[in-house]
Amino acid sequence: MSGWVAVAGLGPGAEALITPQVSDALAAATDLIGYIPYVERVPNRPGLTRHASDNRVELDRAAHALQLAAEGKRVVVASSGDPGVFAMASALFEALETGPARWRSLDIRILPGVTAMLAAAARAGAPLGHDFCAINLSDNLKPWPQIERRVRLAAQADFAMAFYNPRSRARPEGFARVLTILREECEADRLLLFARAVSTPDEELRIVRLADATPEMADMRTMVIVGSSRTRLIKRPAGPVLYTPRWSE
């Protein structure tokens, strides 16, 4: 039997946000590989071997998936959100590029998912309705000065910005520094969204002005969206809507 690898996005948390394509791959898989909490999101069933690993071993995990597929297994590598957004799809191709030549003829599929940025934006309204960029604030895989430079230039270009991995216990000071840069480049009443654990029972949304934003408003389960200079609020009885018009002059 011929094996395959599907790198699949499980979405931000809610079952309803898993695509039918990903559900089909999970149902057909013999092996499931991923970071422990993502593997735990997939119910166990007979015939499915689960390989849960720590977050820091992406390349080993990717090579393991390719090796199993080469042996004829049907392998799903699970990511949260979308697998192509700061996640396992690139790690798989890094392993493919440097691995044995025979891996290149394997059947490899990338199955998209609802990324946290889009799930968070949708819960708040439409803050990404005009030009925007996404920046990973973790300096695990890039130098910190590059992050600062990208945030500053994106603010100067008046992009809305979506920040992944805003803050961790290992890097508590980085996000404070990002807020300082935003205060240097943007007006005090610029609107920010802190969207935590979107689509899960722990979901919390908070919309604040830049002047009132504090580093503690973000943690590793939070997506931060910084509006552009045109992003605004509409008051409604059910709570405010954050949106960016489609035009600028």
Tally helices (H) and strands (E) across the chain. Answer: 7, 13
Nearest to 107 by CA among 152, 51, 65: 65
Q: Is the dihedral of CA 162, 165, 168, 172 positive or negative?
A: negative
Alpha helices, DSSP H, located in 49-197: 58-70, 88-98, 116-124, 144-156, 172-185
Q: How far is the CB of 90 from ligand SAH (least distance, A)?
A: 10
Nearest of 235, 231, 234 to residue 244 by alpha carbon: 231
Nearer to ligand SAH, 103 or 175 (CB): 175
Choosing from 165, 228, 231, 244, the residue that interacts with ligand SAH (CB under 6 A) is 165
164 binds ligand SAH (CB under 6 A): yes
Residues 104-123 that bind ligand SAH (CB under 6 A): 115-116, 120
Total binding residues toward ligand SAH, as defined by CB under 6 A: 25
Cα separation, 32 vs 136, in Å, equals 26
Between 39 and 120, CB nearer to ligand SAH: 120
- The residue from 82, 121, 175, 194 that contacts ligand SAH (CB under 6 A) is 82
- 86 binds ligand SAH per the rule CB under 6 A: yes
Q: Kindly tell me which residue out of 38, 62, 80, 130 binds ligand SAH, with binding defined by CB under 6 A.
A: 80
**Burial label, 200 (beta-carbon count in 10 A; 0-12, 13-18, 19+):** exposed
Please identify, using beta-carbon distances, which residue of 155 and 218 lies nearer to ligand SAH.
Answer: 218
CB of 88 to ligand SAH, least distance (A): 8
